[in-house]
Amino acid sequence: MKKIDMLEIDDCKLFDDIINAKNALNIHKDEVKSQYKHYQDNFASLEKVKADQNLETIKDELINCYENPTNPFKFAKNTLWDKFKEQRDDDKCPYCMIENARELDHYFSKTNYPEYSVFIPNPMPCCSICNREKGDRIIKNNQRQYINFYHDNIPDYQFLFVEFTWASDGIPESKVYLMFPKTDTSEIKNTNANAHRSIRLWIFCLSIGQLKCR
């Protein structure tokens, strides 16, 4: 046994700080709810969703609601997973359909949109590779860079094609492209740029999967 040094800290101040952090959330709760409404109002065009810069002051507290969840959020998260597993025959990641979904990816990142940290339409099941590789920058040139699997309609026919060719030095090259029938009216067709980074994510996972098989 060995004695250890106790941390010397002003415990009353610490308790005040803890309460103040919780109060900060309480003070700004209407702004957060207004951001929830902003998201719902723009559900059909998520590229219009903008973060509320005023909430930057309570960013850590908002993210902490996710990182250190209270029981109501734990329950909501468990229900989200139950529903995900219920509606699928497998639990494959919706981005790559290769790895199993074991994590929640914040479509709008916690860093850039902390108000959506515990907003249930935002975190979606995915695999650890896609979660790690997906960038924080969702919107570029007013266009979304990733498919939103709650919102975007994904065609149920093949629209993604890969062509392999062999260069003269024998090294294989691949070309990935999207092709839609003229009659297709789904959003994904009209927003190819949106799909683009999702497709790259898929290719990345595919390459990792191939490496694993070797």
Only one of the segments 8-16, 67-75, 134-142, 201-209 lies at the binding site for Zn ion (rule: CB under 5 A); that segment is 201-209
Query: How many Cβ atoms sit within 10 Å of the Cβ of residue 178?
Result: 14
Only one of the segments 31-39, 76-84, 180-188, 200-208 lies at the binding site for Zn ion (rule: CB under 5 A); that segment is 200-208
Task: Say whether residue 146 binds Zn ion (CB under 5 A).
Answer: no
Q: What angle do CA 24, 25, 27 make, to 5 degrees?
A: 65
Distance between start and end Cα atoms, the chain: 50
Task: Say whether residue 130 binds Zn ion (CB under 5 A).
Answer: yes
For 10, the token pair is 């002003």
Binding-residue total with Zn ion (CB under 5 A): 7
Task: Say whether residue 95 binds Zn ion (CB under 5 A).
Answer: yes
CA distance 87 to 98: 17
CB of 200 to Zn ion, least distance (A): 12
CB of 193 to Zn ion, least distance (A): 20
Q: Which is nearer to Zn ion, 32 or 147 (CB)?
A: 147
* Helical (H) or strand (E) element with 13: helix 11-27
CA distance 23 to 17: 10
Task: Say whether residue 62 binds Zn ion (CB under 5 A).
Answer: no
Closest of 25, 203, 46, 34 to residue 122, by C-alpha: 46
Q: Which is nearer to Zn ion, 32 or 93 (CB)?
A: 93
CB of 89 to Zn ion, least distance (A): 17
Show the binding pattern over residues 110-129: x = contacts Zn ion (CB under 5 A), - = does not: -----------------x--
Task: Say whether residue 96 binds Zn ion (CB under 5 A).
Answer: yes
Q: Which is nearer to Zn ion, 114 or 125 (CB)?
A: 125
| CB 65 within 8 Å of CB 117 | yes
CA distance 61 to 69: 11
Q: Which is nearer to Zn ion, 39 or 202 (CB)?
A: 202
Beta-bridged to residue 174, according to DSSP, are 164
Contacts with Zn ion, residue ranges (CB under 5 A): 93, 95-96, 99, 127, 130, 205
